[in-house]
Structure 1
């Protein structure tokens, strides 16, 4: 039994605990109430002031332009002219995909056409880039974001169509739900938040939706009690900024969602990095720097747009834009053979193939075995096999064409030049194309087909050649098939249009 003294102590302790809990609740409610649109707007204004004062001579960076436009701030014309001069000085070449992506996005938010910046097509530079994975997961993430932001159609024969970018990103996710810089390495906070941003446009895709859920849970689990994230022994403002951008892209309030409200929250923790000059530091207590400040600007602009019920932070194209979405004809159409011109234009009309940049088709350019495999998969509306077991030593799982080649292999459309090698970068020949189409379409062999150079064809290709010629898929020239000749883009255009129109009948 308790005596009176003990009972008083228990009551006093209980009351104390109750008062502390009440105080914490009131304190959090007061903190939440104090972080409204006005405080967010004041912080944005301070960052913009910091940026202008510290970049008087160097001009604005691409992310500063994007952040300021997202915040509703007009950008003087001279800053677009600076971007033009920069692209021209580089002759349109940048080693990193992220450089092309941020340039294209900044040009777009300035209501200019990223397909023609000083004569260079930045969008084509993204989707036909051989260095897509040079930066690990970072490249495909920002390539997909940029393509979605700019909103242009991507040709079916692109090296990196949106489906491939999406598939590549999804395949990088670790079992813990996070995303690494390089496949197999530890998950990274920033990369996970950036991956969510890219995937946020694809929530109707069940695989993407599942990946997003796992990634959000990963971030929640990694968040510290104070609202930030600790990585490599430090808590950086950039991790917080990227997470805010990611959550608002999903329609999640970072100040109210219970998964991200601990003793502290993301918004109040980000404010702890604000310095007296209005900029933001990388690590608390350090001096302001441009990278941390511009990422904080984008994050706060994203959160304010979320509070105002506006669109995704990066969807900022001007509804009054006047530049055309596509030109009607390829500018080099006269370089194509006369018999191919009609088919080339039809490939554009049907969305089967598009140009190689600057509105040029390059009809005489040869096509590689990997490119043709990709073209077949898209033409036949097959699903890529990105997770198939590797068969060819020269077709690596991280190559852009892996899923296409493996799908064609699974369907029995292609085999290797040897048991171990597919030789993806060799140009495809007309007899090889004939074999692929005969297998893909299950064409019957027409025995009475005759062509003058039959002796030049490989014996394994003769039945397929008779099938495609007899079924009017591929034709020769005056009885000559030219089996060893490389397939050009105009040849491929002609053949795939014939197949497509046959399927539409």
Structure 2
């Protein structure tokens, strides 16, 4: 038998349609977790459409599907031959079309592959060949500039890179008077292009509160229909709604708060999910299901492009591997070993009630919890308190409000995002408790093996390793 160590916890609080689906998803649960029914069914649909060679739909749709799959924290190895198919498809890319290479680069990085050497191709170098000193690709088009920035940032190119900054300036210079952008320099504004422009500008460092971003959001508001979704060329549809939702999230806002005629974009998109998990183009037209579903998944997860940013091995932060246990109100939610380095955290700002992205550049206790949630498939809700500039755990696995954590059986005096894990740390415990006071009691046994009816000594100690008398075990 192995040695048994048990923690007893007493008290605490941590500020630690046509063929549409008959399953009614709750829009208030936005952003959805990867384990939610709405996302799980969408992923199952994509899996059902994957062919033996790894393809989902056509080559272009496969790249969007790869981004959706990875946005949902799926193990890419369980999607048979998907990465191999992306490598084979390099030969299908148009050497004169920048957007082909930009889209493919985004899929490669989403799958945690090296964009500097994938299938023998340096995708950063290839995309840079389309740059003329001012903009990327066709001078008459803007979409290749939007996606060029998003792709290069995803590939790990620094925001301050002169190419990035020059193209950013070019995009801003070609914002239309109505606040939006079109596919081309002279084109009228549309939701899809404006959403991509907003995501590109924020990706390369534009302040979310800047006039250029706010004018872009105002244009999107003007194109929200009475159904709650967004229109492209006069027709409300899931593709435009998904991209608009991603732009809204990138700007730090919650699409659930964008209400038109009593309905939000989340309402509209959920109403387009079919029984098989796929998403329709709109209420009356069901086409390109793999494509529409690949857009809807990251949108409903509250994510946006790029879904991943590549870091070379030499730039990778230190990692921590150790044991974490999460004890809920009525039992263990999850326990096991995790490895964590840096972490991107989606948190609700308590002052604005908006979802925000926060980056923790080191292995943290909160990062370990989030990694455990991915492995254990349970939900976590994180809050951001601006006055303290700290992140706190609101709920884990459906248990809310009363959480605290221990590291190596000691109670830290910092929030869980601020605790940087080192090689000297071994164990993390999250506990759901019910008062402000907290004590961690550790039990040690005199023997590691006992026989039936044999008497042995159990010692209970507190956080300072002092014996505790009159303990009931």
TM tier, shorter chain?
0.5 to 0.7
Are the structure 2 counterparts of residues 163 and 42 from structure 1 closer, same or farther at C-alpha, using a change threshold of 3 Å?
same
Q: What TM-score, normalized to structure 2?
A: 0.53
Query: Aligned-pair RMSD on alpha carbons?
Result: 3.0
Structure-2 residue corresponding to 1:464: none
Are the structure 2 counterparts of residues 97 and 323 from structure 1 closer, same or farther at C-alpha, using a change threshold of 3 Å?
farther
SS of the aligned residue for 1:125 comes to helix
Pairing 1:58-457 to 2, within 5 Å after superposition: 59-60=55-56, 61-76=62-77, 78-87=81-90, 89-90=91-92, 94-129=95-130, 132-133=137-138, 136-153=141-158, 161-202=163-204, 204=206, 209-256=210-257, 259-288=258-287, 289-301=289-301, 303=302, 314-317=306-309, 322=313
- C-alpha contact 1:104 1:150 (8 A) present in aligned 2: yes
- C-alpha contact 1:70 1:313 (8 A) present in aligned 2: no
CA distance in 2, matches of 1:285, 1:167: 40
1:267-310 residue CA offsets vs partner (Å, 9 max, x unmatched): 01011221222111112132352221111112112x1x5xxxxx
CA distance in 2, matches of 1:271, 1:50: 15
- C-alpha contact 1:96 1:135 (8 A) present in aligned 2: no
- C-alpha contact 1:180 1:192 (8 A) present in aligned 2: yes
- C-alpha contact 1:203 1:209 (8 A) present in aligned 2: no
User: Which structure has the larger Rg over C-alpha atoms?
Assistant: 1
Task: Give 1:64 deviation, angstroms.
Answer: 0.9
Are the structure 2 counterparts of residues 33 and 236 from structure 1 closer, same or farther at C-alpha, using a change threshold of 3 Å?
closer
Task: Give 1:41 deviation, angstroms.
Answer: 2.3
Task: Give 1:33 deviation, angstroms.
Answer: 3.8
Are the structure 2 counterparts of residues 278 and 216 from structure 1 closer, same or farther at C-alpha, using a change threshold of 3 Å?
same
1:39-71 residue CA offsets vs partner (Å, 9 max, x unmatched): 982111111111111222452411111111111
- C-alpha contact 2:70 2:110 (8 A) present in aligned 1: yes
CA distance in 2, matches of 1:234, 1:136: 23
Are the structure 2 counterparts of residues 135 and 275 from structure 1 closer, same or farther at C-alpha, using a change threshold of 3 Å?
farther
CA distance in 2, matches of 1:204, 1:180: 19
Task: Give 1:161 deviation, angstroms.
Answer: 0.7
Task: Give 1:324 deviation, angstroms.
Answer: 7.3
1:151-173 residue CA offsets vs partner (Å, 9 max, x unmatched): 135997xxx81112101211221
Q: How many residues align?
A: 279
Structure that is richer in strand per residue: 2
Are the structure 2 counterparts of residues 191 and 313 from structure 1 closer, same or farther at C-alpha, using a change threshold of 3 Å?
closer
Are the structure 2 counterparts of residues 143 and 202 from structure 1 closer, same or farther at C-alpha, using a change threshold of 3 Å?
closer
Structure 1's unaligned 5+ residue stretches are: 1-29, 306-311, 326-505
CA distance in 2, matches of 1:196, 1:240: 14
Structure 2's unaligned 5+ residue stretches are: 1-24, 57-61, 317-473
Are the structure 2 counterparts of residues 202 and 102 from structure 1 closer, same or farther at C-alpha, using a change threshold of 3 Å?
closer
1:330-352 residue CA offsets vs partner (Å, 9 max, x unmatched): xxxxxxxxxxxxxxxxxxxxxxx
Structure-2 residue corresponding to 1:348: none
Are the structure 2 counterparts of residues 197 and 164 from structure 1 closer, same or farther at C-alpha, using a change threshold of 3 Å?
same
Task: Give 1:255 deviation, angstroms.
Answer: 0.5
CA distance in 2, matches of 1:109, 1:41: 21
CA distance in 1, matches of 2:172, 2:150: 14
Matched, 1:49 2:44: yes
